[in-house]
Structure 1
Amino acid sequence: MKKSSGFNNTKKLFIVITDVVLFHLSFVLSFLVRYDWNIPQFNYIAYESARPFIFLAFIFLNIMFGNYVMYNKQRTDFVYLTIIVQFFMSILIMAMTFFGRLFTFPRTIILISFIISSVLLTIWRLIVFQLYLKVDGTKNVLVIGDEISCKRAIFNINQAKNNRHKVTAVALDNYFENVQSSINHVDIIYIAKHIDEKVRTEIYELVIRNNKQLFLSTSFENLVLINPNIMNIEDESIIEINEFKISPEEDLIKRIIDFLISLAMIIVTSPIMIITSIIIKLTSKGPILYKQVRITKNQREFNILKFRTMSTTAERDSGPVLASANDTRVTMVGKYLRSLRIDELPQLFNVLKGDMSLVGPRPERPFFVEQFVNENKYYDLRHNIRAGITGFAQVYGKYASDFNSKLNFDLLYIQKYSLLFDVKIMLQTIKILFDKVSSQGVDEEELVNLKTEPLPDDIKILK
């Protein structure tokens, strides 16, 4: 079985170029609509002067918001992502017209182009996505590991937004022999658990020779190999493994950017924070702000600030409890504050002070940190950098995922760290406000069932 390799870089480049053409066309149509099909040359020249900057910003924002990554999307994603990007473009162009004379053209053009471009680009992207699904199809996956790791892999794949991947078989033992016998019936081999090095190498070779895809779990042994430094000593090339840290220079730049952006955001969001404070005070008893001890860089404790979303007696009888789906302790107003992430806004003051960063691992309470360290010896590595308001786990995981899953995201973030990566995460944080799944917590019953329920009947079990 051999399927198409999907949308390669050449096809993606064609999609980007078509995006730009449609965006340009939306501006031309906006001028035609605004001026009754008779465009004044002076106004259009202003647009032409700004066009290179507008197009570059357009491409950058679409890449940062992930509009050209399709494997983890569904149709509604392209609708709201397109509208979000076009809204940001409108704000950016208005800023250009305000600060630069060369960019001056009627702002009604910006409004009209926002509407036209949103419609044109949404239709185009839905067509492209439909072609993608048709060309690339569903990939059959063989999962390798013990029963628990295979169940977890199946659970995660089944929770995906689309049917891009389908687990058709699992190998619980005799891994190489089972891969060898199934290689022509699957597209992807997913190694979900650590296996013997000799067997793993044999599977690697078999997968590569048969032109199949290979998925690896984000175990510690795999995470350490991300972004290695390649050194040449005489006639030998050496792979140098990076520590789970960011350099002092990057940390300094990150801190300066955190300070400036948090200060600006406090000023911009101050009306929202004032209104929220009044609503909390009027709807429930207790303080407006909620302070709680958390752990940040170098195991240092600090008081995190949040708008209170729970009753004041939330943990009086139960003691410390992790957030979960449909948490009954949350107030009516608190549900909306959480879903819109408004409850996190006071943490901008934590960033300003230096306790937190805009992007980083979410800070956890000392009670749970001690518990998690006992369960996973690598958990302390996430404290090599400042805790963050948002992070990789918050963008790609769920609101209250299993701590091991969040740890993998956090360690992956540290290994892949760059300022551009921070920008991408901050922009994609806006996206998850429209994604209800990202606002949910862990359903503990589902996790228990994962361990006790048998493997699905429609999956072939290889032993």
Structure 2
Amino acid sequence: MIRQNQRFLTQIYVLTDALCMLVMFLVSYWVKFQSGWLSSYDTIPFNQYFMWGTVYAFAAVLIGFYVGFYAPRRRKSFSSDIWKIIQVQSLSFLGLLSMLFIAKEVHISRELLVIFFCANITAMAAYRFMVKQGLFRLRRKGYNKKFVLILGAGTVGRSFFNNLQSHPELGYEVYGFLDDYHQEHPLEYRHLKPVLGKVDELEAILQDNPIDEVIIALPLEAHHKYAHIIDVCDNAGAKTLIIPDYFDLLPARPFFDNFAGIPLINVRDIPLDELSNRLLKRTFDIVFSLIAIIIASPAMLFAYLGIKLTSPGPAIFKQERMGLDKKTFYMYKFRSMHLSDDKTANTQWTVENDPRRTKFGAFLRRTSIDELPQFFNVLRGEMSVVGPRPERPYFVEQFKGEVPKYMVKHHIRPGITGWAQTNGLRGDTSIHDRIDHDLFYIENWSFLFDLKIIIKTIVKGLVNKNAY
């Protein structure tokens, strides 16, 4: 039977969240009116400010329940928690502004409101991070466990067990397996928990043991048993989760859609298909690119003059690449090679010690300065700061028949840097590995993931040994 600790933990979260927001209100009030750091004109009494701070905290808790912030988050990543915090605080802040407008509270300090909003996000993220890390440590030590029973001791069930063992911080322990055709595991899988019996024994095992969740990892032929299994689990108070027998065909985060009243599994759900996500990413691209162009202008001027002084021909090289929705565009780079005909440039792969490179061009490629003009591609909407690297149409035609799922990368805008590049997959490296990383990025995109890639690109440095 599922233990009730989650309900208690939710209540603690609600109380702590409300307390945290009230404390942040007091801190914000002190910073604005009593610290002396900012000019202050306190025309409204503290009690009135505190009333609105309490209303905000109460509204944030209600909105948190509405957007699922207080749902069980054991299996959720911290980045999803951050996104929920931003959602809750933004909606609460807009609600507070609306109430202030309706109540005609025109003298409320705007600076205080902005400080309060920023302090809430920072404080909530910090304490939630500490709580999550604390729970991870407790679960690794064996506390706050949930027990799982796996139905199906075949390939799918064994894969799930092995994956679960690699994440002890989640606090799940496999109680055992049930299977109609395997009485025990093969020798190479003897490290797995034992097969306790057949699937028909599920009801008795749930009655006698503290099973929290039942994982159905049965083959498609056993589909007719699902209804009975779910009924048994519901009656015993155990949650039921199903691993499709074709799970290896699904993305990391499959999405359930509804079409003509029938639930469907969306095999390729992409976060950037949502308008809000696209707008957020596009806005960031424009702002970041403008700042990058301003900061990098001395380096670009240096590259332009260096090319002109060391090699005849234009300083800017443009090459056809395939981007969003398989549409081609011209990507800009500082020219790092001697002039050649378009056929050679578009069909020949760059290799180590490529004789076509100029000496100054080799320096530009090693330091990634040759990539800087691509920020203008970003401003034009042809590229993004972060995304899969675009390829020449000639090679796309080759790779799409040789590399599985290669064309999926064209569902989003290509990027100047990407998850593959920050993991060393740049230049003459495995195309298969690059696509695996690109698919992971596409299916798991978040704004924080983009920031992580940008920071990783900067921290690891732009100099790369594979940049020929």
TM-score, normalising length: structure 2: 0.50
1:57-136 correspondence to structure 2 within 5 Å: 69=73, 71-72=75-76, 122=126, 126-127=130-131, 130=134
Whether 1:316 and 2:351 are equivalent positions in the alignment is yes
Question: Contact 1:295/1:301 (CA < 8 Å) preserved in 2?
Answer: yes
The alpha-carbon distance between structure 1 residues 215 and 307, as it changes in their structure 2 partners (threshold 3 A), is farther
TM-superposed deviation, 1:316 = 1.1
The alpha-carbon distance between structure 1 residues 35 and 250, as it changes in their structure 2 partners (threshold 3 A), is closer
1:220-235 correspondence to structure 2 within 5 Å: 220=249, 226-229=255-258, 231=260
Q: Which residue of 1 aligns with 2:226?
A: 201
Query: Counterpart of 1:270 in structure 2: which amino acid?
Result: I
Q: Distance in 1 between matches of 2:155 and 2:284?
A: 46
Q: Which residue of 1 aligns with 2:192?
A: none
Q: Distance in 2 between matches of 1:41 and 1:353?
A: 47
Question: Contact 1:188/1:215 (CA < 8 Å) preserved in 2?
Answer: no
1:160-171 correspondence to structure 2 within 5 Å: 160=167, 162-166=169-173
Q: Distance in 1 between matches of 2:23 and 2:146?
A: 32
The alpha-carbon distance between structure 1 residues 167 and 380, as it changes in their structure 2 partners (threshold 3 A), is farther
Q: Which residue of 1 aligns with 2:25?
A: 24
What root-mean-square deviation, in Å, do the aligned CA atoms of Structure 1 and Structure 2 show?
6.8
Question: Contact 2:217/2:243 (CA < 8 Å) preserved in 1?
Answer: yes
Look up the SS of the partner of 2:43 in the other structure: helix
The alpha-carbon distance between structure 1 residues 219 and 137, as it changes in their structure 2 partners (threshold 3 A), is same
Query: Counterpart of 1:130 in structure 2: which amino acid?
Result: G
Question: Contact 2:149/2:213 (CA < 8 Å) preserved in 1?
Answer: yes
Q: Distance in 2 between matches of 1:354 and 1:405?
A: 23
Aligned pair count reads: 377
Specify which of 115, 137, 144 is matched with residue 144 of structure 2: 137
In the alignment, structure 2 segments of 5+ residues that lack a partner are: 98-105, 183-194, 336-348, 355-363, 426-432, 461-468
Q: Which residue of 2 aligns with 1:6?
A: 6
Query: Counterpart of 1:316 in structure 2: which amino acid?
Result: V
Question: Contact 1:139/1:164 (CA < 8 Å) preserved in 2?
Answer: yes
The alpha-carbon distance between structure 1 residues 362 and 35, as it changes in their structure 2 partners (threshold 3 A), is same
1:251-330 correspondence to structure 2 within 5 Å: 262-274=285-297, 277=300, 295-302=322-329, 316=351
TM-superposed deviation, 1:214 = 1.7
Look up the SS of the partner of 1:42 in the other structure: coil
Based on CA coordinates, which of the two structures has the bigger radius of gyration? 2
TM-superposed deviation, 1:242 = 6.3
Q: What CA deviation, in whole Å up to 9, does each residue of 1:370-399 have, x standing for no partner?
A: 5465564x654554x3335499x959x988
Q: Which residue of 1 aligns with 2:241?
A: 214
The alpha-carbon distance between structure 1 residues 9 and 355, as it changes in their structure 2 partners (threshold 3 A), is farther
TM-superposed deviation, 1:52 = 10
In the alignment, structure 1 segments of 5+ residues that lack a partner are: 232-236, 309-313, 320-329, 338-342, 414-421, 440-463
The alpha-carbon distance between structure 1 residues 178 and 357, as it changes in their structure 2 partners (threshold 3 A), is farther
TM-score, normalising length: structure 1: 0.51
Q: Which residue of 1 aligns with 2:376?
A: 349
Q: Distance in 2 between matches of 1:372 and 1:294?
A: 15
Specify which of 151, 155, 162 is matched with residue 154 of structure 1: 162
Question: Contact 1:296/1:302 (CA < 8 Å) preserved in 2?
Answer: yes
Q: RCO higher in 1 or 2 (8 Å CA, sep ≥ 6)?
A: 1
Q: What CA deviation, in whole Å up to 9, does each residue of 1:181-234 have, x standing for no partner?
A: 676475445567964352672655555454134263654468998342254xxx
The alpha-carbon distance between structure 1 residues 241 and 140, as it changes in their structure 2 partners (threshold 3 A), is closer
Look up the SS of the partner of 1:196 in the other structure: helix
Q: What CA deviation, in whole Å up to 9, does each residue of 1:115-163 have, x standing for no partner?
A: 89957973576257636876982444556575488458735762x5934
The alpha-carbon distance between structure 1 residues 188 and 268, as it changes in their structure 2 partners (threshold 3 A), is same
Identical aligned residues as a percent: 17
Q: Which residue of 2 aligns with 1:426?
A: 447
Q: Distance in 1 between matches of 2:173 and 2:334?
A: 41
Q: Which residue of 2 aligns with 1:322?
A: none
The alpha-carbon distance between structure 1 residues 142 and 244, as it changes in their structure 2 partners (threshold 3 A), is same
Query: Counterpart of 1:196 in structure 2: which amino acid?
Result: E
TM-superposed deviation, 1:262 = 3.7
TM-superposed deviation, 1:27 = 0.9
Question: Contact 2:300/2:372 (CA < 8 Å) preserved in 1?
Answer: no
